[in-house]
Amino acid sequence: MHLGKGPMTDLNHLEHDLLNQVEAAGDEAALETVRVSALGKKGSVSELLKTLGAMTPEERKERGPLINGLRDKVQTAIVAKKETLAEAALDARLSAERVDVTLPVQEGPETRGRIHPISQVIEELTAIFADMGFSVAEGPDVETDYLNFTALNFPVGHPAREMHDTFFLAPDEKGERKVLRTHTSPVQIRTMTSQKPPIRVIIPGRTYRHDSDQTHTPMFHQVEGLVIDKQANIAHLKWILEEFCKTFFEVDQVKMRFRPSFFPFTEPSAEVDIQCSRKGGEIRFGEGEDWLEILGCGMVHPNVLRNCGLDPDEYQGFAWGMGIDRIAMLKYGMPDLRPFFEADVRWLNHYGFRPLDIPSLVGGLTS
Protein backbone atom coordinates (compact mmCIF):
# COMPACT_ATOMS: atom_id res chain seq x y z
CA MET A 1 0.00 0.00 0.00
CA HIS A 2 1.38 3.39 -1.00
CA LEU A 3 0.94 6.04 1.66
CA GLY A 4 1.02 8.99 -0.78
CA LYS A 5 2.25 12.48 0.03
CA GLY A 6 0.92 12.53 3.61
CA PRO A 7 1.72 9.19 5.22
CA MET A 8 1.16 10.52 8.71
CA THR A 9 -2.28 11.79 7.71
CA ASP A 10 -3.15 8.49 6.04
CA LEU A 11 -1.99 6.48 9.08
CA ASN A 12 -3.88 8.73 11.46
CA HIS A 13 -7.00 8.36 9.35
CA LEU A 14 -6.62 4.56 9.20
CA GLU A 15 -5.98 4.36 12.93
CA HIS A 16 -9.03 6.49 13.68
CA ASP A 17 -11.17 4.39 11.37
CA LEU A 18 -10.01 1.03 12.78
CA LEU A 19 -10.33 2.09 16.41
CA ASN A 20 -13.86 3.32 15.71
CA GLN A 21 -14.71 -0.06 14.16
CA VAL A 22 -13.31 -1.84 17.22
CA GLU A 23 -15.33 0.36 19.55
CA ALA A 24 -18.51 -0.12 17.50
CA ALA A 25 -18.27 -3.93 17.52
CA GLY A 26 -21.36 -5.20 19.39
CA ASP A 27 -20.23 -8.76 19.99
CA GLU A 28 -17.24 -11.03 19.62
CA ALA A 29 -18.22 -12.05 16.08
CA ALA A 30 -18.22 -8.42 14.89
CA LEU A 31 -14.95 -7.81 16.72
CA GLU A 32 -13.38 -10.78 14.97
CA THR A 33 -14.45 -9.34 11.61
CA VAL A 34 -12.66 -6.07 12.43
CA ARG A 35 -9.55 -7.96 13.54
CA VAL A 36 -9.38 -9.96 10.30
CA SER A 37 -9.91 -6.82 8.17
CA ALA A 38 -7.04 -5.07 9.99
CA LEU A 39 -4.60 -7.75 11.13
CA GLY A 40 -5.49 -10.74 9.01
CA LYS A 41 -3.26 -11.98 6.14
CA LYS A 42 -4.76 -9.44 3.77
CA GLY A 43 -5.76 -6.89 6.39
CA SER A 44 -5.09 -3.19 5.96
CA VAL A 45 -2.38 -3.05 8.65
CA SER A 46 -0.81 -6.30 7.47
CA GLU A 47 -0.55 -4.88 3.92
CA LEU A 48 1.26 -1.85 5.30
CA LEU A 49 3.70 -4.08 7.16
CA LYS A 50 4.49 -5.87 3.90
CA THR A 51 5.66 -2.60 2.29
CA LEU A 52 8.48 -2.20 4.81
CA GLY A 53 10.68 -4.64 2.90
CA ALA A 54 10.65 -2.51 -0.29
CA MET A 55 11.50 0.73 1.47
CA THR A 56 14.91 2.33 1.67
CA PRO A 57 16.64 2.23 5.06
CA GLU A 58 15.78 5.86 5.62
CA GLU A 59 12.08 5.32 4.80
CA ARG A 60 11.96 2.15 6.91
CA LYS A 61 13.52 4.03 9.82
CA GLU A 62 10.89 6.75 9.50
CA ARG A 63 7.74 4.75 8.72
CA GLY A 64 8.44 1.43 10.43
CA PRO A 65 7.73 2.64 13.99
CA LEU A 66 4.56 4.35 12.79
CA ILE A 67 3.14 1.24 11.09
CA ASN A 68 4.20 -1.07 13.97
CA GLY A 69 2.70 1.42 16.42
CA LEU A 70 -0.57 1.31 14.49
CA ARG A 71 -0.56 -2.48 14.65
CA ASP A 72 0.08 -2.43 18.42
CA LYS A 73 -2.67 0.13 19.05
CA VAL A 74 -5.20 -1.90 17.06
CA GLN A 75 -4.20 -5.13 18.83
CA THR A 76 -4.45 -3.48 22.26
CA ALA A 77 -7.84 -2.00 21.40
CA ILE A 78 -9.13 -5.39 20.20
CA VAL A 79 -7.96 -7.17 23.39
CA ALA A 80 -9.53 -4.48 25.60
CA LYS A 81 -12.80 -4.60 23.64
CA LYS A 82 -12.88 -8.40 23.86
CA GLU A 83 -12.57 -8.23 27.66
CA THR A 84 -15.32 -5.61 27.80
CA LEU A 85 -17.65 -7.74 25.69
CA ALA A 86 -16.91 -10.82 27.84
CA GLU A 87 -17.68 -8.90 31.03
CA ALA A 88 -20.91 -7.55 29.52
CA ALA A 89 -21.96 -11.07 28.47
CA LEU A 90 -21.24 -12.39 31.97
CA ASP A 91 -23.20 -9.58 33.59
CA ALA A 92 -26.15 -10.30 31.29
CA ARG A 93 -26.02 -13.99 32.13
CA LEU A 94 -25.79 -13.34 35.86
CA SER A 95 -28.71 -10.97 35.65
CA ALA A 96 -30.81 -13.49 33.71
CA GLU A 97 -29.87 -16.44 35.95
CA ARG A 98 -29.94 -14.62 39.26
CA VAL A 99 -30.80 -16.78 42.29
CA ASP A 100 -32.34 -15.24 45.38
CA VAL A 101 -30.26 -16.92 48.11
CA THR A 102 -32.64 -15.63 50.76
CA LEU A 103 -35.33 -18.06 49.56
CA PRO A 104 -35.37 -21.68 50.77
CA VAL A 105 -33.82 -24.15 48.35
CA GLN A 106 -36.37 -26.21 46.50
CA GLU A 107 -35.94 -29.94 47.08
CA GLY A 108 -35.40 -32.12 44.06
CA PRO A 109 -37.91 -34.84 43.15
CA GLU A 110 -35.57 -37.54 44.44
CA THR A 111 -35.67 -36.09 47.98
CA ARG A 112 -39.15 -34.54 48.08
CA GLY A 113 -40.99 -37.64 49.30
CA ARG A 114 -40.88 -39.08 52.79
CA ILE A 115 -40.52 -42.60 54.16
CA HIS A 116 -43.34 -43.48 56.54
CA PRO A 117 -42.18 -43.99 60.16
CA ILE A 118 -43.46 -47.58 60.09
CA SER A 119 -41.31 -48.39 57.05
CA GLN A 120 -38.37 -46.64 58.70
CA VAL A 121 -38.69 -48.64 61.93
CA ILE A 122 -39.05 -51.92 60.03
CA GLU A 123 -35.79 -51.09 58.26
CA GLU A 124 -34.17 -50.34 61.62
CA LEU A 125 -35.43 -53.62 63.09
CA THR A 126 -34.16 -55.55 60.09
CA ALA A 127 -30.71 -53.93 60.33
CA ILE A 128 -30.42 -54.66 64.05
CA PHE A 129 -31.55 -58.29 63.97
CA ALA A 130 -29.71 -59.05 60.73
CA ASP A 131 -26.53 -58.07 62.55
CA MET A 132 -27.39 -60.80 65.10
CA GLY A 133 -27.90 -63.44 62.41
CA PHE A 134 -31.69 -63.24 61.90
CA SER A 135 -33.47 -63.43 58.58
CA VAL A 136 -36.92 -62.03 57.74
CA ALA A 137 -39.95 -64.33 57.35
CA GLU A 138 -43.31 -63.27 55.90
CA GLY A 139 -46.80 -64.71 55.56
CA PRO A 140 -50.33 -63.81 54.35
CA ASP A 141 -52.64 -61.40 56.17
CA VAL A 142 -55.60 -63.76 55.77
CA GLU A 143 -54.99 -66.93 57.78
CA THR A 144 -56.70 -70.18 58.62
CA ASP A 145 -58.19 -70.65 62.06
CA TYR A 146 -55.76 -73.53 62.58
CA LEU A 147 -52.58 -71.53 61.94
CA ASN A 148 -53.81 -68.45 63.76
CA PHE A 149 -55.10 -70.26 66.85
CA THR A 150 -55.08 -74.06 67.07
CA ALA A 151 -51.47 -74.72 66.07
CA LEU A 152 -50.42 -72.05 68.57
CA ASN A 153 -52.04 -73.97 71.45
CA PHE A 154 -55.37 -72.14 71.34
CA PRO A 155 -57.76 -75.13 71.29
CA VAL A 156 -61.30 -74.74 69.99
CA GLY A 157 -63.37 -72.92 72.58
CA HIS A 158 -60.33 -71.57 74.41
CA PRO A 159 -61.25 -68.23 76.06
CA ALA A 160 -58.06 -66.62 74.72
CA ARG A 161 -59.67 -66.60 71.27
CA GLU A 162 -62.18 -64.04 72.46
CA MET A 163 -59.43 -61.85 73.92
CA HIS A 164 -58.25 -61.06 70.41
CA ASP A 165 -61.61 -59.72 69.16
CA THR A 166 -60.91 -61.25 65.80
CA PHE A 167 -62.11 -60.18 62.35
CA PHE A 168 -63.66 -63.37 60.94
CA LEU A 169 -64.34 -63.74 57.21
CA ALA A 170 -67.45 -65.35 55.75
CA PRO A 171 -67.37 -69.18 55.69
CA ASP A 172 -65.95 -70.75 52.54
CA GLU A 173 -67.42 -73.70 50.63
CA LYS A 174 -66.13 -76.05 53.35
CA GLY A 175 -67.71 -73.98 56.09
CA GLU A 176 -64.30 -72.78 57.35
CA ARG A 177 -64.10 -69.18 58.49
CA LYS A 178 -60.70 -67.66 57.81
CA VAL A 179 -59.48 -64.70 59.84
CA LEU A 180 -57.47 -61.56 59.44
CA ARG A 181 -54.45 -62.63 61.44
CA THR A 182 -54.47 -61.28 64.98
CA HIS A 183 -50.68 -61.58 65.31
CA THR A 184 -47.75 -62.56 63.09
CA SER A 185 -47.37 -65.81 65.06
CA PRO A 186 -48.90 -67.94 62.25
CA VAL A 187 -45.69 -67.23 60.32
CA GLN A 188 -43.81 -68.96 63.15
CA ILE A 189 -45.85 -72.09 62.43
CA ARG A 190 -45.26 -71.75 58.68
CA THR A 191 -41.52 -71.34 59.29
CA MET A 192 -41.19 -74.30 61.66
CA THR A 193 -43.11 -76.60 59.31
CA SER A 194 -41.08 -75.57 56.23
CA GLN A 195 -37.55 -75.27 57.68
CA LYS A 196 -35.37 -77.50 59.77
CA PRO A 197 -33.76 -76.07 62.90
CA PRO A 198 -31.72 -74.10 63.70
CA ILE A 199 -34.18 -71.28 63.01
CA ARG A 200 -33.57 -67.58 63.62
CA VAL A 201 -36.18 -65.30 62.08
CA ILE A 202 -37.99 -62.04 62.72
CA ILE A 203 -41.51 -61.57 61.40
CA PRO A 204 -42.68 -57.99 60.77
CA GLY A 205 -46.12 -57.41 59.31
CA ARG A 206 -49.69 -56.15 59.56
CA THR A 207 -52.12 -57.55 62.14
CA TYR A 208 -55.82 -56.92 62.81
CA ARG A 209 -57.95 -56.67 65.95
CA HIS A 210 -61.19 -54.99 67.01
CA ASP A 211 -59.58 -52.03 68.82
CA SER A 212 -59.68 -48.30 68.14
CA ASP A 213 -58.47 -45.55 70.48
CA GLN A 214 -55.42 -43.33 71.02
CA THR A 215 -53.07 -46.31 71.33
CA HIS A 216 -55.00 -48.99 69.38
CA THR A 217 -56.15 -49.24 65.76
CA PRO A 218 -58.03 -52.03 63.94
CA MET A 219 -54.94 -52.59 61.79
CA PHE A 220 -51.47 -52.26 63.29
CA HIS A 221 -47.97 -53.62 62.83
CA GLN A 222 -46.18 -56.23 64.88
CA VAL A 223 -42.77 -57.85 64.83
CA GLU A 224 -42.08 -61.23 66.35
CA GLY A 225 -38.85 -63.14 66.73
CA LEU A 226 -38.33 -66.88 66.83
CA VAL A 227 -35.30 -68.99 67.69
CA ILE A 228 -35.42 -72.78 67.57
CA ASP A 229 -32.32 -74.82 68.39
CA LYS A 230 -31.21 -77.65 70.61
CA GLN A 231 -29.77 -75.38 73.29
CA ALA A 232 -31.73 -72.11 72.96
CA ASN A 233 -32.58 -70.79 76.41
CA ILE A 234 -33.79 -67.83 78.46
CA ALA A 235 -30.27 -66.40 78.79
CA HIS A 236 -30.03 -66.14 74.99
CA LEU A 237 -33.47 -64.49 74.87
CA LYS A 238 -32.50 -61.92 77.52
CA TRP A 239 -29.25 -61.01 75.74
CA ILE A 240 -30.99 -60.56 72.38
CA LEU A 241 -33.68 -58.31 73.83
CA GLU A 242 -31.17 -56.20 75.77
CA GLU A 243 -28.97 -55.73 72.71
CA PHE A 244 -31.99 -54.84 70.60
CA CYS A 245 -33.26 -52.22 73.07
CA LYS A 246 -29.83 -50.61 73.46
CA THR A 247 -29.33 -50.41 69.70
CA PHE A 248 -32.86 -49.37 68.76
CA PHE A 249 -33.22 -46.67 71.41
CA GLU A 250 -29.55 -45.76 70.96
CA VAL A 251 -28.51 -45.84 74.62
CA ASP A 252 -25.33 -47.26 76.15
CA GLN A 253 -27.12 -49.43 78.69
CA VAL A 254 -30.64 -50.42 79.64
CA LYS A 255 -32.19 -52.29 82.54
CA MET A 256 -34.97 -54.77 81.87
CA ARG A 257 -37.23 -56.79 84.13
CA PHE A 258 -39.14 -59.91 83.24
CA ARG A 259 -42.54 -60.32 84.91
CA PRO A 260 -44.30 -63.73 84.84
CA SER A 261 -47.28 -63.74 82.50
CA PHE A 262 -49.34 -66.15 80.38
CA PHE A 263 -49.46 -66.75 76.65
CA PRO A 264 -50.88 -70.04 75.28
CA PHE A 265 -47.95 -70.49 72.89
CA THR A 266 -45.08 -70.02 75.40
CA GLU A 267 -44.19 -71.65 78.72
CA PRO A 268 -42.84 -70.00 80.78
CA SER A 269 -44.09 -66.60 79.57
CA ALA A 270 -43.06 -63.09 80.58
CA GLU A 271 -43.90 -59.45 80.05
CA VAL A 272 -40.79 -57.29 79.63
CA ASP A 273 -40.43 -53.82 81.13
CA ILE A 274 -37.67 -51.40 80.23
CA GLN A 275 -36.08 -48.80 82.48
CA CYS A 276 -37.05 -45.22 81.69
CA SER A 277 -37.45 -41.69 82.99
CA ARG A 278 -40.71 -39.74 82.66
CA LYS A 279 -39.46 -36.38 83.91
CA GLY A 280 -40.88 -33.33 82.18
CA GLY A 281 -43.47 -35.45 80.38
CA GLU A 282 -40.76 -36.96 78.17
CA ILE A 283 -39.85 -40.66 78.13
CA ARG A 284 -36.11 -41.31 78.10
CA PHE A 285 -34.65 -44.80 78.12
CA GLY A 286 -31.48 -45.99 79.85
CA GLU A 287 -32.02 -43.72 82.86
CA GLY A 288 -34.50 -42.96 85.62
CA GLU A 289 -36.42 -45.12 88.09
CA ASP A 290 -39.63 -45.79 86.14
CA TRP A 291 -40.58 -48.84 84.08
CA LEU A 292 -42.45 -49.18 80.79
CA GLU A 293 -43.89 -52.41 79.39
CA ILE A 294 -42.54 -52.93 75.89
CA LEU A 295 -43.03 -56.56 74.78
CA GLY A 296 -44.00 -60.12 75.64
CA CYS A 297 -41.86 -63.23 75.31
CA GLY A 298 -41.27 -66.78 76.53
CA MET A 299 -40.03 -70.26 75.72
CA VAL A 300 -41.95 -71.91 72.87
CA HIS A 301 -44.59 -74.25 74.32
CA PRO A 302 -43.90 -77.97 73.75
CA ASN A 303 -47.38 -78.35 72.22
CA VAL A 304 -46.49 -75.77 69.55
CA LEU A 305 -43.29 -77.67 68.73
CA ARG A 306 -45.28 -80.92 68.43
CA ASN A 307 -47.85 -79.25 66.16
CA CYS A 308 -44.96 -78.31 63.85
CA GLY A 309 -43.49 -81.82 63.80
CA LEU A 310 -40.59 -81.02 66.14
CA ASP A 311 -39.65 -83.18 69.11
CA PRO A 312 -39.67 -80.99 72.27
CA ASP A 313 -37.22 -83.44 73.87
CA GLU A 314 -34.71 -82.60 71.13
CA TYR A 315 -35.50 -78.98 70.26
CA GLN A 316 -36.47 -75.95 72.27
CA GLY A 317 -36.73 -72.30 71.51
CA PHE A 318 -38.00 -68.88 72.46
CA ALA A 319 -40.12 -66.17 70.88
CA TRP A 320 -41.04 -62.56 71.51
CA GLY A 321 -43.38 -60.00 70.02
CA MET A 322 -43.85 -56.24 70.12
CA GLY A 323 -45.87 -53.55 68.36
CA ILE A 324 -43.88 -51.71 65.68
CA ASP A 325 -46.20 -48.71 65.87
CA ARG A 326 -45.74 -48.58 69.66
CA ILE A 327 -41.94 -48.59 69.64
CA ALA A 328 -41.99 -46.02 66.81
CA MET A 329 -44.12 -43.77 69.01
CA LEU A 330 -41.77 -44.26 71.96
CA LYS A 331 -38.60 -43.57 69.97
CA TYR A 332 -39.77 -40.63 67.87
CA GLY A 333 -42.17 -38.94 70.30
CA MET A 334 -45.49 -39.51 68.52
CA PRO A 335 -48.39 -39.01 70.96
CA ASP A 336 -51.21 -40.67 69.00
CA LEU A 337 -51.33 -43.87 66.97
CA ARG A 338 -54.25 -42.92 64.72
CA PRO A 339 -52.41 -40.35 62.50
CA PHE A 340 -50.14 -43.21 61.36
CA PHE A 341 -52.98 -44.32 59.08
CA GLU A 342 -54.73 -41.03 58.20
CA ALA A 343 -52.52 -40.25 55.16
CA ASP A 344 -52.06 -36.61 56.20
CA VAL A 345 -49.15 -35.24 54.15
CA ARG A 346 -48.43 -32.59 56.80
CA TRP A 347 -47.98 -35.30 59.46
CA LEU A 348 -45.80 -37.36 57.13
CA ASN A 349 -43.61 -34.36 56.28
CA HIS A 350 -43.09 -33.76 60.00
CA TYR A 351 -42.51 -37.32 61.19
CA GLY A 352 -41.36 -38.97 57.96
CA PHE A 353 -37.79 -39.67 56.90
CA ARG A 354 -35.85 -38.63 53.81
CA PRO A 355 -35.76 -41.42 51.22
CA LEU A 356 -31.95 -41.47 50.94
CA ASP A 357 -31.39 -41.73 54.72
CA ILE A 358 -31.30 -45.53 54.83
CA PRO A 359 -30.89 -46.88 58.39
CA SER A 360 -27.83 -48.99 59.02
CA LEU A 361 -25.66 -50.08 61.91
CA VAL A 362 -22.65 -48.56 60.14
CA GLY A 363 -24.12 -45.17 59.27
CA GLY A 364 -26.27 -44.83 62.37
CA LEU A 365 -29.93 -45.70 62.65
CA THR A 366 -31.13 -42.10 63.00
CA SER A 367 -28.23 -40.17 61.47
CA neighbor of 139 nearest in space, from 178, 168, 177, 181: 181
Task: Return the axis-axis angle of helices 57-96 and 28-39, rounded to nearest 10°.
Answer: 170
The answer to whether 244 and 129 have CB atoms below 8 angstroms apart is yes
Q: Which residues pair with 288 in a beta bridge?
A: none
End-to-end CA distance of the chain: 79
23 annotated ligand-binding residue: no
The answer to whether 355 and 114 have CB atoms below 8 angstroms apart is yes
Question: Cβ neighbours of residue 254 under 8 Å, at least 6 residues apart?
Answer: 242, 245, 246, 274, 275, 285, 286
Half-sphere exposure of 250 (CA within 13 A, CB side): 12
Residues tagged in the binding site annotation for Mg(2+):
267
**What are the binding residues?**
267
